[in-house]
Structure 1
Amino acid sequence: MNDLTDTQLILLAASQDAAFEVLLRRHAPRIHALASSVVGPGSADDVVQEVFLSVHKHLKTFRGDAQFSTWLHRVALNACYALLRKRQPDALDGVPEPVSTASPVRDSENLQLRETLSWAMRQLPHDQREAVALRELSGLDYAAIAEIVGAEVGTVKSRIARGRAALRALLLTRGVEAGA
Protein backbone atom coordinates (compact mmCIF):
# COMPACT_ATOMS: atom_id res chain seq x y z
CA MET A 1 0.00 0.00 0.00
CA ASN A 2 2.93 2.34 0.46
CA ASP A 3 3.14 2.73 -3.34
CA LEU A 4 -0.40 4.09 -3.61
CA THR A 5 -1.14 7.79 -4.00
CA ASP A 6 -3.02 9.72 -1.35
CA THR A 7 -6.10 9.71 -3.60
CA GLN A 8 -6.02 5.94 -3.92
CA LEU A 9 -5.50 5.52 -0.19
CA ILE A 10 -8.43 7.83 0.60
CA LEU A 11 -10.72 5.68 -1.50
CA LEU A 12 -9.50 2.53 0.26
CA ALA A 13 -9.51 4.04 3.75
CA ALA A 14 -13.30 3.82 3.99
CA SER A 15 -13.08 0.04 4.07
CA GLN A 16 -9.47 -0.71 5.00
CA ASP A 17 -7.80 0.57 8.16
CA ALA A 18 -4.39 -0.25 6.65
CA ALA A 19 -4.91 2.41 3.98
CA PHE A 20 -5.61 5.05 6.63
CA GLU A 21 -2.54 3.93 8.59
CA VAL A 22 -0.38 4.51 5.51
CA LEU A 23 -1.82 8.03 5.17
CA LEU A 24 -1.11 8.63 8.84
CA ARG A 25 2.51 7.41 8.65
CA ARG A 26 3.08 9.41 5.47
CA HIS A 27 1.84 12.75 6.81
CA ALA A 28 2.21 12.61 10.60
CA PRO A 29 5.83 13.88 10.78
CA ARG A 30 5.04 17.11 8.90
CA ILE A 31 1.82 17.64 10.85
CA HIS A 32 3.74 17.11 14.10
CA ALA A 33 6.39 19.64 13.08
CA LEU A 34 3.68 22.16 12.19
CA ALA A 35 1.85 21.59 15.48
CA SER A 36 5.10 21.91 17.44
CA SER A 37 5.76 25.29 15.89
CA VAL A 38 2.28 26.61 16.62
CA VAL A 39 1.38 25.12 20.03
CA GLY A 40 4.79 24.03 21.30
CA PRO A 41 6.42 20.61 21.36
CA GLY A 42 4.67 19.53 24.56
CA SER A 43 1.19 19.77 23.02
CA ALA A 44 2.03 18.65 19.49
CA ASP A 45 1.28 14.96 20.12
CA ASP A 46 -2.21 15.83 21.37
CA VAL A 47 -2.87 18.00 18.33
CA VAL A 48 -1.66 15.32 15.91
CA GLN A 49 -3.90 12.75 17.58
CA GLU A 50 -6.86 15.14 17.39
CA VAL A 51 -6.13 15.90 13.73
CA PHE A 52 -6.01 12.27 12.65
CA LEU A 53 -9.10 11.35 14.67
CA SER A 54 -10.94 14.20 12.96
CA VAL A 55 -9.58 13.27 9.54
CA HIS A 56 -10.59 9.63 10.02
CA LYS A 57 -14.08 10.70 11.04
CA HIS A 58 -14.50 13.19 8.18
CA LEU A 59 -12.46 11.57 5.41
CA LYS A 60 -15.58 10.74 3.41
CA THR A 61 -16.40 14.48 3.27
CA PHE A 62 -13.08 15.24 1.56
CA ARG A 63 -14.15 16.39 -1.90
CA GLY A 64 -10.75 16.44 -3.53
CA ASP A 65 -10.98 20.11 -4.55
CA ALA A 66 -7.51 20.54 -3.08
CA GLN A 67 -4.72 18.07 -2.48
CA PHE A 68 -5.19 15.87 0.57
CA SER A 69 -2.04 17.33 2.17
CA THR A 70 -3.43 20.86 1.76
CA TRP A 71 -6.70 19.87 3.45
CA LEU A 72 -4.80 18.02 6.17
CA HIS A 73 -2.61 21.05 6.95
CA ARG A 74 -5.72 23.25 7.22
CA VAL A 75 -7.30 20.75 9.63
CA ALA A 76 -4.05 20.76 11.63
CA LEU A 77 -3.92 24.54 11.83
CA ASN A 78 -7.56 24.64 12.93
CA ALA A 79 -6.80 22.11 15.68
CA CYS A 80 -3.78 24.14 16.80
CA TYR A 81 -5.80 27.35 17.02
CA ALA A 82 -8.62 25.58 18.87
CA LEU A 83 -6.09 24.41 21.47
CA LEU A 84 -4.54 27.87 21.76
CA ARG A 85 -7.99 29.41 22.33
CA LYS A 86 -8.55 26.98 25.24
CA ARG A 87 -5.22 27.72 26.91
CA GLN A 88 -4.57 30.34 29.51
CA PRO A 89 -2.16 33.06 28.31
CA ASP A 90 0.50 31.94 30.80
CA ALA A 91 0.30 28.30 29.69
CA LEU A 92 1.79 28.77 26.21
CA ASP A 93 5.07 27.01 26.95
CA GLY A 94 4.89 23.27 26.32
CA VAL A 95 7.12 20.60 27.72
CA PRO A 96 9.97 20.10 25.24
CA GLU A 97 10.38 16.80 23.45
CA PRO A 98 13.18 14.59 24.72
CA VAL A 99 16.31 14.68 22.63
CA SER A 100 18.35 11.52 22.32
CA THR A 101 22.08 11.72 21.66
CA ALA A 102 25.09 10.13 23.28
CA SER A 103 26.11 13.35 25.03
CA PRO A 104 24.19 14.95 27.93
CA VAL A 105 25.80 18.29 27.08
CA ARG A 106 24.61 18.03 23.47
CA ASP A 107 21.15 16.99 24.69
CA SER A 108 20.99 20.11 26.85
CA GLU A 109 22.17 22.36 24.02
CA ASN A 110 19.63 20.86 21.60
CA LEU A 111 16.87 21.23 24.15
CA GLN A 112 17.76 24.88 24.74
CA LEU A 113 17.86 25.57 21.02
CA ARG A 114 14.46 23.94 20.49
CA GLU A 115 12.95 25.90 23.37
CA THR A 116 14.40 29.14 22.02
CA LEU A 117 13.17 28.45 18.50
CA SER A 118 9.73 27.54 19.82
CA TRP A 119 9.66 30.78 21.82
CA ALA A 120 10.76 32.80 18.77
CA MET A 121 8.09 31.22 16.55
CA ARG A 122 5.41 32.14 19.11
CA GLN A 123 6.59 35.77 19.00
CA LEU A 124 5.82 36.08 15.29
CA PRO A 125 2.51 37.52 14.17
CA HIS A 126 -0.03 34.79 13.43
CA ASP A 127 0.15 35.12 9.63
CA GLN A 128 3.96 35.01 9.56
CA ARG A 129 4.17 32.08 12.01
CA GLU A 130 1.68 30.12 9.95
CA ALA A 131 3.44 30.77 6.64
CA VAL A 132 6.95 30.07 8.00
CA ALA A 133 5.81 26.86 9.68
CA LEU A 134 4.08 25.59 6.55
CA ARG A 135 7.14 26.37 4.41
CA GLU A 136 10.03 25.44 6.69
CA LEU A 137 8.53 22.67 8.80
CA SER A 138 5.99 21.12 6.47
CA GLY A 139 8.00 21.73 3.30
CA LEU A 140 5.03 22.99 1.31
CA ASP A 141 5.47 25.10 -1.79
CA TYR A 142 4.20 28.68 -1.98
CA ALA A 143 1.10 27.78 -4.01
CA ALA A 144 -0.01 25.15 -1.48
CA ILE A 145 0.56 27.56 1.40
CA ALA A 146 -1.43 30.25 -0.42
CA GLU A 147 -4.31 27.82 -0.82
CA ILE A 148 -4.22 26.79 2.84
CA VAL A 149 -4.10 30.32 4.25
CA GLY A 150 -6.34 31.90 1.61
CA ALA A 151 -3.83 34.47 0.40
CA GLU A 152 -2.05 35.31 -2.84
CA VAL A 153 1.33 33.66 -3.52
CA GLY A 154 3.08 37.04 -3.36
CA THR A 155 1.56 37.70 0.05
CA VAL A 156 2.75 34.30 1.28
CA LYS A 157 6.28 35.03 0.04
CA SER A 158 6.25 38.38 1.86
CA ARG A 159 5.00 36.80 5.09
CA ILE A 160 7.72 34.17 4.93
CA ALA A 161 10.45 36.72 4.23
CA ARG A 162 9.28 38.99 7.08
CA GLY A 163 8.90 35.99 9.39
CA ARG A 164 12.38 34.70 8.64
CA ALA A 165 13.87 38.16 9.24
CA ALA A 166 11.99 38.51 12.52
CA LEU A 167 13.08 35.02 13.61
CA ARG A 168 16.69 35.86 12.81
CA ALA A 169 16.49 39.04 14.91
CA LEU A 170 14.71 37.31 17.80
CA LEU A 171 17.20 34.45 17.85
CA LEU A 172 20.14 36.88 17.82
CA THR A 173 18.70 38.59 20.91
CA ARG A 174 18.83 35.19 22.62
CA GLY A 175 22.43 34.56 21.55
CA VAL A 176 21.68 32.11 18.75
CA GLU A 177 23.83 32.78 15.71
CA ALA A 178 23.36 31.56 12.16
CA GLY A 179 24.61 28.03 11.72
CA ALA A 180 24.10 27.21 15.41
Structure 2
Amino acid sequence: MEPTDLHPTDLQLARQALRDDSAFEALVRRHAAGVHRLAAGMVGPGAADDVVQEVFIAVHRGLKGFRGEAAFSTWLHRITLNACHRAIKGKGHPTVSLSDTAEPTAPHDPVRAGEQADLRARLAQALHTLPQDQREAVSLRELSGLDYAEIAAITGAELGTVKSRINRGRAALRDHLTKVGIVP
Protein backbone atom coordinates (compact mmCIF):
# COMPACT_ATOMS: atom_id res chain seq x y z
CA MET A 1 0.00 0.00 0.00
CA GLU A 2 1.32 3.45 -0.96
CA PRO A 3 1.93 6.00 1.81
CA THR A 4 -0.60 8.25 0.06
CA ASP A 5 -3.21 5.50 0.51
CA LEU A 6 -2.68 5.66 4.26
CA HIS A 7 -2.63 9.46 4.37
CA PRO A 8 -4.29 10.80 1.25
CA THR A 9 -3.75 14.43 0.32
CA ASP A 10 -6.57 16.93 0.41
CA LEU A 11 -6.72 16.87 -3.38
CA GLN A 12 -7.03 13.08 -3.40
CA LEU A 13 -9.78 13.22 -0.79
CA ALA A 14 -11.59 16.01 -2.65
CA ARG A 15 -11.62 13.98 -5.86
CA GLN A 16 -12.67 10.83 -4.03
CA ALA A 17 -15.39 12.73 -2.11
CA LEU A 18 -17.31 13.20 -5.36
CA ARG A 19 -18.28 9.54 -5.16
CA ASP A 20 -17.48 8.53 -1.57
CA ASP A 21 -19.03 10.14 1.50
CA SER A 22 -16.33 8.76 3.78
CA ALA A 23 -13.70 10.79 1.87
CA PHE A 24 -15.75 13.95 2.43
CA GLU A 25 -16.07 13.06 6.12
CA ALA A 26 -12.27 12.71 6.26
CA LEU A 27 -11.90 16.23 4.79
CA VAL A 28 -14.33 17.59 7.36
CA ARG A 29 -12.50 15.88 10.25
CA ARG A 30 -9.17 17.15 8.94
CA HIS A 31 -10.23 20.80 8.56
CA ALA A 32 -13.22 21.44 10.85
CA ALA A 33 -11.21 22.67 13.84
CA GLY A 34 -9.25 25.16 11.75
CA VAL A 35 -12.39 26.43 10.02
CA HIS A 36 -14.06 26.82 13.42
CA ARG A 37 -11.06 28.68 14.85
CA LEU A 38 -11.04 31.11 11.92
CA ALA A 39 -14.83 31.56 12.04
CA ALA A 40 -14.81 32.18 15.80
CA GLY A 41 -12.19 34.87 15.33
CA MET A 42 -14.14 36.51 12.54
CA VAL A 43 -17.77 36.26 13.74
CA GLY A 44 -17.42 35.33 17.41
CA PRO A 45 -17.72 31.94 19.07
CA GLY A 46 -21.53 32.02 19.20
CA ALA A 47 -21.95 32.21 15.42
CA ALA A 48 -18.96 30.04 14.49
CA ASP A 49 -20.84 26.72 14.51
CA ASP A 50 -23.36 28.02 11.97
CA VAL A 51 -20.54 29.33 9.77
CA VAL A 52 -18.71 25.99 9.91
CA GLN A 53 -21.87 24.19 8.85
CA GLU A 54 -22.41 26.64 5.99
CA VAL A 55 -18.77 26.26 4.90
CA PHE A 56 -18.89 22.48 4.63
CA ILE A 57 -22.25 22.56 2.84
CA ALA A 58 -20.69 24.97 0.32
CA VAL A 59 -17.59 22.78 0.02
CA HIS A 60 -19.72 19.68 -0.62
CA ARG A 61 -21.73 21.50 -3.28
CA GLY A 62 -18.63 23.02 -4.86
CA LEU A 63 -16.40 19.94 -5.04
CA LYS A 64 -17.39 19.31 -8.66
CA GLY A 65 -15.98 22.71 -9.60
CA PHE A 66 -12.77 22.38 -7.57
CA ARG A 67 -10.04 21.83 -10.16
CA GLY A 68 -7.11 21.61 -7.78
CA GLU A 69 -5.26 24.53 -9.38
CA ALA A 70 -5.00 26.11 -5.94
CA ALA A 71 -4.43 24.19 -2.73
CA PHE A 72 -7.57 22.77 -1.15
CA SER A 73 -6.80 24.73 2.02
CA THR A 74 -6.64 27.98 0.03
CA TRP A 75 -10.04 27.25 -1.50
CA LEU A 76 -11.45 26.25 1.91
CA HIS A 77 -10.17 29.41 3.62
CA ARG A 78 -11.71 31.60 0.89
CA ILE A 79 -15.07 29.83 1.35
CA THR A 80 -14.74 30.33 5.12
CA LEU A 81 -14.02 34.04 4.78
CA ASN A 82 -16.99 34.45 2.42
CA ALA A 83 -19.27 32.65 4.89
CA CYS A 84 -17.98 34.86 7.71
CA HIS A 85 -18.71 38.00 5.70
CA ARG A 86 -22.25 36.79 4.99
CA ALA A 87 -22.75 36.06 8.69
CA ILE A 88 -21.50 39.51 9.67
CA LYS A 89 -23.66 41.28 7.08
CA GLY A 90 -26.72 39.16 7.82
CA LYS A 91 -26.73 39.66 11.56
CA GLY A 92 -25.19 43.06 12.00
CA HIS A 93 -22.12 43.47 14.17
CA PRO A 94 -21.59 40.23 16.09
CA THR A 95 -21.50 40.26 19.83
CA VAL A 96 -19.50 37.98 22.02
CA SER A 97 -21.03 36.62 25.19
CA LEU A 98 -19.19 35.01 28.05
CA SER A 99 -21.76 32.22 27.96
CA ASP A 100 -20.66 31.39 24.39
CA THR A 101 -17.15 30.55 25.55
CA ALA A 102 -16.43 26.92 26.36
CA GLU A 103 -15.13 26.12 29.78
CA PRO A 104 -11.67 24.63 30.12
CA THR A 105 -11.23 20.99 31.02
CA ALA A 106 -10.32 19.84 34.53
CA PRO A 107 -8.73 20.81 36.76
CA HIS A 108 -11.32 23.53 36.84
CA ASP A 109 -10.37 26.86 38.35
CA PRO A 110 -13.47 29.10 38.20
CA VAL A 111 -11.50 32.32 38.66
CA ARG A 112 -9.01 31.46 35.93
CA ALA A 113 -11.79 30.21 33.64
CA GLY A 114 -13.65 33.49 34.06
CA GLU A 115 -10.52 35.51 33.37
CA GLN A 116 -9.77 33.47 30.25
CA ALA A 117 -13.34 33.79 28.99
CA ASP A 118 -13.23 37.54 29.56
CA LEU A 119 -9.91 37.81 27.72
CA ARG A 120 -11.22 35.75 24.77
CA ALA A 121 -14.30 37.96 24.59
CA ARG A 122 -12.21 41.15 24.65
CA LEU A 123 -9.88 39.78 21.97
CA ALA A 124 -12.84 38.86 19.76
CA GLN A 125 -14.34 42.32 20.25
CA ALA A 126 -10.99 43.92 19.48
CA LEU A 127 -10.72 41.93 16.23
CA HIS A 128 -14.10 43.30 15.19
CA THR A 129 -12.80 46.87 15.49
CA LEU A 130 -10.37 46.23 12.64
CA PRO A 131 -11.24 46.99 9.02
CA GLN A 132 -12.31 43.86 7.16
CA ASP A 133 -9.07 43.46 5.19
CA GLN A 134 -6.93 43.69 8.34
CA ARG A 135 -9.26 41.39 10.31
CA GLU A 136 -9.03 38.78 7.53
CA ALA A 137 -5.25 38.96 7.32
CA VAL A 138 -4.68 38.88 11.08
CA SER A 139 -7.19 36.05 11.56
CA LEU A 140 -5.66 33.95 8.80
CA ARG A 141 -2.18 34.50 10.26
CA GLU A 142 -2.88 34.23 13.99
CA LEU A 143 -5.89 31.89 14.12
CA SER A 144 -5.20 29.67 11.12
CA GLY A 145 -1.40 29.85 11.27
CA LEU A 146 -1.03 30.52 7.56
CA ASP A 147 2.09 32.07 6.13
CA TYR A 148 2.07 35.36 4.23
CA ALA A 149 2.13 33.72 0.78
CA GLU A 150 -0.89 31.55 1.62
CA ILE A 151 -2.78 34.59 2.88
CA ALA A 152 -1.93 36.46 -0.32
CA ALA A 153 -3.28 33.57 -2.39
CA ILE A 154 -6.51 33.41 -0.38
CA THR A 155 -7.19 37.15 -0.31
CA GLY A 156 -5.87 37.99 -3.77
CA ALA A 157 -3.66 40.70 -2.29
CA GLU A 158 0.02 41.24 -3.02
CA LEU A 159 2.48 39.79 -0.50
CA GLY A 160 3.61 43.26 0.64
CA THR A 161 -0.01 44.31 1.12
CA VAL A 162 -0.66 41.25 3.29
CA LYS A 163 2.35 42.03 5.47
CA SER A 164 1.24 45.64 5.79
CA ARG A 165 -2.32 44.65 6.72
CA ILE A 166 -1.08 42.27 9.38
CA ASN A 167 1.32 44.84 10.84
CA ARG A 168 -1.35 47.57 10.88
CA GLY A 169 -3.90 45.13 12.31
CA ARG A 170 -1.57 43.99 15.09
CA ALA A 171 -0.74 47.60 15.96
CA ALA A 172 -4.42 48.54 16.07
CA LEU A 173 -5.21 45.51 18.25
CA ARG A 174 -2.37 46.41 20.61
CA ASP A 175 -3.66 50.00 20.88
CA HIS A 176 -7.26 48.88 21.42
CA LEU A 177 -6.34 46.30 24.06
CA THR A 178 -4.08 48.75 25.88
CA LYS A 179 -6.95 51.29 26.00
CA VAL A 180 -9.27 48.72 27.61
CA GLY A 181 -6.65 47.81 30.21
CA ILE A 182 -5.12 44.68 28.72
CA VAL A 183 -1.37 44.67 28.29
CA PRO A 184 -0.63 42.58 25.18
**Band the TM-score falls in, shorter-chain normalisation:** over 0.9
Give me the identity figure in percent. 56
Q: CA deviation at 1:2?
A: 6.1
Residues 92-151 of structure 1, C-alpha deviation per residue, up to 9 Å, x if partnerless? 204432222411111100110000000000001111100000011111111111111111
TM-score (norm 2): 0.91
2:58 is the alignment partner of 1:57: no
Q: SS of the residue aligned with 2:128?
A: helix
Aligned to 1:93: 95
Matched residue, 2:22: 18
Once residues 24 and 70 of structure 2 are traced to their aligned partners in structure 1, the CA distance between those partners, rounded to angstroms, is: 18
- Structure 2's unaligned 5+ residue stretches are none
Specify the alignment match of 1:138 in structure 2.
Answer: 144
Root mean square deviation of aligned Cα: 1.3
1:1-180 equivalences in 2 (<5 Å) = 3-89=7-93, 92-95=94-97, 96-101=100-105, 102-178=108-184
Number of residue pairs the alignment of both structures matches? 176
Is residue 35–residue 47 contact of structure 1 (8 Å, CA) maintained in 2?
A: yes
Instruction: Give the distance between the partners of 2:13 and 2:155, measured in 1 at CA.
Output: 25
Change beyond 3 A, Cα 1:2–1:74: farther
Q: Is the 8 A contact 1:2 1:22 kept in 2?
A: no
In the TM superposition, residue 34 of structure 1 has moved relative to its aligned partner by: 1.0
Segments of structure 1 that go 5 or more residues without pairing to the other structure are none
